[in-house]
Amino acid sequence: MAMSTENEHPVKAFGWAARDTTGHLSPFRFSRRATGEKDVTFKVLYCGMVTEVGTKVTKFKVGDKVGVGCMVGSCRSCANCKEDLENYCPEMILTYGAKYYDGTITHGGYSDIMVSDEHFVIKIPDNLPLEGSAPLLCAGITVYSPLKYYGLDKAGMHLGVVGLGGLGHMAVKFAKAMGLKVTVISTSPNKKKEAMDHLGADAFLVSRDTEEMELAMGTMDGIIDTVSAVHALLPLIGLLKTNGKLVMVGAPEKPLELLAFPLLMGRKMVGGSGIGGIKETQEMIDFAAKHNIVADIELIPMDYVNTAMERLSKADVKYRFVIDIVNSLKPS
């Protein structure tokens, strides 16, 4: 008979979880493993505070501010892992709903405590507020990594950002801190004021306005496309200069049409990117601390999470929900 999640490990934990296909979250009692030699145990606030470290931990001490992003494990031996690209490891272990090395399921971070191998823990600099830092470990690294890898981080370059949501607003912030000229591209004209006055974008294009789009053709060194809905790529490719790069970080469920000829006539590239390795994630957090970059968030109590999920499905948030675990997660 299988052991219950509440008893499979020695450390009692409490959180909220979805346990069926409805996605509805409710209070959940489970357990975490004991702190191993290389493990860090931390109390979850928004990000966490280290409460215990294993005997062989070298990167952290009790009291450090830390966070864990989308992954808690990888094989550590493949070519990708050796290149600090654990996020592309074939055996990468997600923080939520994945099978850990010991065969138990990872339960994510909607809980009072977490335990993680120190390799996958990120140090949060003291000057960054924890609540605004938490989304950097997902949305932040998702846009920072392609800016660096595709060489779209050079001051004076012109970057387009498609979509002004959780990913898009972070792309604008990082690109501006790198010294780029940034143009936000959106289907919604009413986002122009937010993009330019609040986030500091240099220009704004309404993608449905063919005249605006034509005037901007051939002006951009690169584009970060954050949109997960089905949308046309051809007009975006037209915005690129020769050798320009269109990088996809959104994930539409249905195939997008991509014609070869517009790529040939300008040696243009369409690429993709997914989060980042641990070394690069720490680099991103340190860059954010240096430039005072945090996500724009709406702080919510734990028991609001199902309403927040409904609002997320309607894109009704600016720009990331963060759960106030420390003040609102109470065992029922």
Average pLDDT of every residue of the chain: 95
pLDDT of 2 higher than 70: no
Given a contact cutoff of 8 angstroms between Cβ atoms, the answer to whether 274 and 164 are in contact is: no
Domains by residue range for the chain, with CATH: 11-123+296-323 (3.90.180.10), 137-272 (3.40.50.720)
List pLDDT tens digits, range 235-261: 999 999 999 999 999 999 999 999 999
User: Looking up tokens 């989060």, which residue turns up?
Assistant: 275
User: Looking up tokens 């970080």, which residue turns up?
Assistant: 249
| DSSP code of residue 126 | T
Alpha-helical regions (H) of the chain: 79-82, 130-133, 139-149, 166-177, 192-193, 210-215, 234-239, 261-264, 278-290, 305-313, 325-328
pLDDT of 4 higher than 90: no
CA atoms of 46 and 100, how far apart (whole Å):
23
Give the per-residue pLDDT at 46. 86
CA atoms of 61 and 68, how far apart (whole Å):
16
pLDDT of 207 higher than 80: yes
Given a contact cutoff of 8 angstroms between Cβ atoms, the answer to whether 185 and 158 are in contact is: no
Distances (CA, A) of 204 to 98, 158, 255: 40, 13, 27
Q: Quick one: three-class SS letters along 135-152?
A: HHHCHHHHHHHHHHHCCC
CA atoms of 143 and 98, how far apart (whole Å):
24
CA atoms of 318 and 292, how far apart (whole Å):
18
- Predicted TM-score (pTM) of the model is 0.94
List pLDDT tens digits, range 261-292: 999 999 999 999 999 999 999 999 999 999 99
How much of the chain is helix, strand and coil, in % rounded to 5? 30, 30, 45
| Burial status of residue 332 (CB atoms within 10 A of its CB: 0-12, 13-18, 19 or more) | exposed
CA atoms of 134 and 69, how far apart (whole Å):
8
Give the per-residue pLDDT at 63. 95
User: Looking up tokens 């493949």, which residue turns up?
Assistant: 78
Half-sphere exposure (CA, 13 Å, Cβ side) for 24? 2
| Lowest mean pLDDT segment, chosen from 17-21, 85-89, 144-148 | 17-21
Cis amide leading into 101 (omega within 30): no
Residue 160 C-alpha from the chain's centroid:
19
| Percent of the chain topping pLDDT 70 | 98
List pLDDT tens digits, range 178-201: 999 999 999 999 999 999 999 999
pLDDT of 127 higher than 90: yes
CA atoms of 243 and 229, how far apart (whole Å):
26
